[in-house]
């Protein structure tokens, strides 16, 4: 369901997760700040419930942030605020995860992982515009399982000497 009320959507999702189901909150990156305090409380609640032996784990609270800061089209000025990711990364790594998939196949792998996880707040940042598929789905799964990777086709490193330049990237905007 979708209405133009981030607070309501967040509340719906939290309640839905408590019924034992899984969900995803899709929001523009610049407007998700509206629920900053709500996600803070959810993270605190997760921290407490992990210590309660009678409380079963629940599906993770998953965000899909779109229309990110790097898209500067007709409404770029109003969408220049990637601060929610900063807000989340200030929380305990025992409770939060942030994913910046570089292509659609990596997005599929990350979404699968996030939707299977329990007792986390997962934030996935992905644009809505067409982009290259750098990896096959199987390559994306391996890349995500490793947590980082070297794409052999994207460089000249052969393992015989130290590289001259290392380019580290995250996300779908090269």
Q: Which domain holds residue 74?
A: 6-154
171 found inside a domain: no
148 found inside a domain: yes
- Structure tokens of 108? 């599929």
For residues 167 and 74, give the distance between their C-alpha atoms in angstroms, rounded to a whole number. 30
169 found inside a domain: no
- Structure tokens of 12? 């719906």
Q: What's the rounded mean pLDDT across residues 76-81? A: 64
Q: What is the pLDDT of residues 96-130, one digit of tens each?
A: 999 999 999 999 999 999 999 999 999 999 987 78
**Closest to 61 in 3D by CA, of 90, 104, 21:** 21
Q: Which residues of 27-54 are buried (b: 16+ CB within 10 A; e: fewer)?
A: bbbbbbeebeebbeebbeebeeeeeeee
Residue 174 clears pLDDT 60, i.e. is over it? no
Distance in Å from the first CA to the final CA of the chain: 32
**Closest to 9 in 3D by CA, of 50, 39, 41, 30:** 39
For residues 129 and 69, give the distance between their C-alpha atoms in angstroms, rounded to a whole number. 13
Computed from CA positions of residues 28, 34, 40, 41, in that sequence, does the dihedral angle turn out positive or negative?
negative
What is the DSSP code (8-state) at residue 57? P
**Closest to 65 in 3D by CA, of 11, 120, 109, 121:** 121
Residue 80's pLDDT is what? 65
> Cα angle vertex 125, ends 26, 27, to 5°?
20
- Structure tokens of 137? 């789905």
Q: What is the pLDDT of residues 80-95, one digit of tens each?
A: 677 888 999 999 999 9
160 found inside a domain: no
Total-model pTM? 0.88
CATH number of the domain within which 75 lies: 3.40.50.970
Q: Which pLDDT band holds residue 159 (cuts at 50, 70, 90)? A: confident
164 found inside a domain: no
- Structure tokens of 162? 């130290």
Total number of domains in the chain: 1
User: If residue 124 lies in a helix (H) or strand (E), which one and from where to where?
Assistant: strand 121-125
């Amino acid at each position: 369901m979708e209405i133009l009320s981030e607070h309501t959507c967040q509340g719906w999702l939290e309640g839905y997760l408590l019924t034992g189901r899984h969900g995803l909150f899709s929001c523009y990156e610049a407007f998700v700040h509206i629920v900053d305090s709500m996600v803070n409380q959810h993270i605190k609640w997760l921290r407490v419930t992990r210590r309660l032996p009678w409380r079963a784990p629940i599906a993770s609270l998953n965000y899909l942030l779109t229309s990110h800061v790097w898209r500067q089209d007709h409404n770029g000025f109003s969408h220049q605020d990637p601060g929610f990711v900063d807000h989340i990364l200030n929380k305990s790594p025992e409770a939060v995860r942030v994913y910046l998939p570089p292509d659609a196949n990596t997005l599929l792998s990350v979404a699968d992982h996030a939707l299977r996880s329990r007792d986390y707040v997962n934030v996935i940042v992905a644009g809505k515009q067409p982009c290259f598929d750098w990896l096959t789905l199987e390559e994306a799964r391996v890349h995500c399982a490793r947590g980082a990777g070297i794409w052999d086709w994207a460089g000249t490193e052969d393992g015989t000497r130290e590289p001259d330049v290392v380019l580290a990237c995250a996300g779908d905007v090269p």
